[in-house]
Amino acid sequence: MGALAVLSALLLTLAWGLGENWSPLLDGLLAAGLLVTSGLHVYLLAGGRHGPRVARALAKRGWRTFLSYKFQLIMVFVQIGLFIAVIYLLGAPLVDALFRPVGEAMARYTQTNYVVFLLLGIAAWPLLWGVYEVSAGRLRQEQMTGMFESLVPTAAGVESLPFAYLLSRLGMSVVTLTATLLVFAYLLPEGAITLSSPLSVLAFATVIALAIVTMWGLGLIMTGLTALFKQAGAASSLLRFLLIAFAGIYVPVELLPGWAAPLSEALPLTHAFRAVREILGHGATLVDVLPEVAALALFALYSSFGGMWVFRKLLDRARRAGTLYGY
């Protein structure tokens, strides 16, 4: 894992040193390197060879449970059909009616089109908060289903659960994010969202991957608190409030009062959303947003290592206190 951290540092140093001599090929190599590094880092830190097996079991159980609710299944398909029909028939007028007044009211924000700013926040926020929740909120649910207790004496261990949650949830979340962006690209004027080249897609995926690792690490801390204290949801509510209010998800950071700037810069999603908007809104490359990527890589590294350390420590403490199996 130390080698992975060194590799990330070397890639970022290489990018910084080349500066204006940067080429599209090297930009792609940097993005691919960071993607592979972050994936291997999470795999070795928490999953290992047992994580995918636990993830398959959780995904299979969830899929079977979902299919067993016939009425819910029918309603899902009805909802998808209605959504497609509304987007096709009324999408552009709805976007204009709902978001243009907001954009006009915030016309003094000149960094980018505020409608695009807001829609990108709406698209990416559910994925990133969902990653946090599958890491932070599912442990208590598995205590009630018995999965938690059944994994305690196994080789996989309870530590594999957060990694399994991430794997079982990530595919659908990425598909949802992609579909949302495609819908917004269809509704907005041509060129408002830039996904014109493989490099822009790769740069976007790199930023999202680093943000995912960061939120997953923060969720690990909450998982440990849940194992020890059982009711720790108030801390998640506080984190959600801080991110929505100060991380530039729905409100531009530039419009916040001066005293909020240090707090905003200390939140990892501030850097993630800033980079995403530069890439998708202005066609920036990965090296163009390198300061944000570097900050986000550090957040990902420290939150994942720190989160797993806190999770294991609090899990051991709960075992010693005899409260591990309480609900």
Query: CA 327 to CA 324: how far, in whole Å?
Result: 8
Per-residue confidence (pLDDT) for residue 270, from 0 to 100: 92
79 in a structural domain: no
Per-residue confidence (pLDDT) for residue 314, from 0 to 100: 74
Q: Given pLDDT bands bounded at 50, 70 and 90, which one contains residue 108? A: low
Please state, for a pLDDT cut of 70, what percent of the chain lies above it: 71
86 in a structural domain: no
69 in a structural domain: no
82 in a structural domain: no
Per-residue confidence (pLDDT) for residue 133, from 0 to 100: 81
What is the rounded average pLDDT of the residues 137-153? 65
Q: Under DSSP, is residue 161 helix (H, G, I), strand (E, B) or coil?
A: helix
Query: CA 7 to CA 301: how far, in whole Å?
Result: 12
Mean pLDDT, the chain, rounded, equals: 76
Please state, for a pLDDT cut of 90, what percent of the chain lies above it: 4
Alpha helices in 108-159 (DSSP H): 114-136, 138-145, 147-151
- pLDDT tens for each residue of 23-63: 677 777 778 888 888 888 787 777 666 777 777 777 777 77
Q: Given pLDDT bands bounded at 50, 70 and 90, which one contains residue 271? A: very high
What DSSP letter does each residue of 167-221 carry, written as one string? Answer: HHHHHHHHHHHHHHHHHHHHHSPTTSS---SHHHHHHHHHHHHHHHHHHHHHHHH
What is the rounded average pLDDT of the residues 7-20? 55
Specify the number of domains making up the chain.
Answer: 1
Whether the pLDDT of residue 164 is over 50: the answer is yes
Contact 296, 215 (CB under 8 A): no
What is the rounded average pLDDT of the residues 228-244? 77
300 in a structural domain: yes
Contact 271, 119 (CB under 8 A): no
Query: CA 176 to CA 188: how far, in whole Å?
Result: 18
Q: Given pLDDT bands bounded at 50, 70 and 90, which one contains residue 267? A: very high
75 in a structural domain: no
Whether the pLDDT of residue 145 is over 70: the answer is no
Whether the pLDDT of residue 4 is over 80: the answer is no
Whether the pLDDT of residue 22 is over 70: the answer is no
What is the rounded average pLDDT of the residues 161-185? 79
72 in a structural domain: no
Amino acid at 50: H
| Structural domain range at position 291 | 2-12+27-61+91-319
Whether the pLDDT of residue 82 is over 70: the answer is yes
194 in a structural domain: yes
Per-residue confidence (pLDDT) for residue 269, from 0 to 100: 92
Per-residue confidence (pLDDT) for residue 327, from 0 to 100: 44
Q: Given pLDDT bands bounded at 50, 70 and 90, which one contains residue 272? A: very high
What is the rounded average pLDDT of the residues 273-285? 85
Per-residue confidence (pLDDT) for residue 3, from 0 to 100: 47
Q: Given pLDDT bands bounded at 50, 70 and 90, which one contains residue 107? A: low
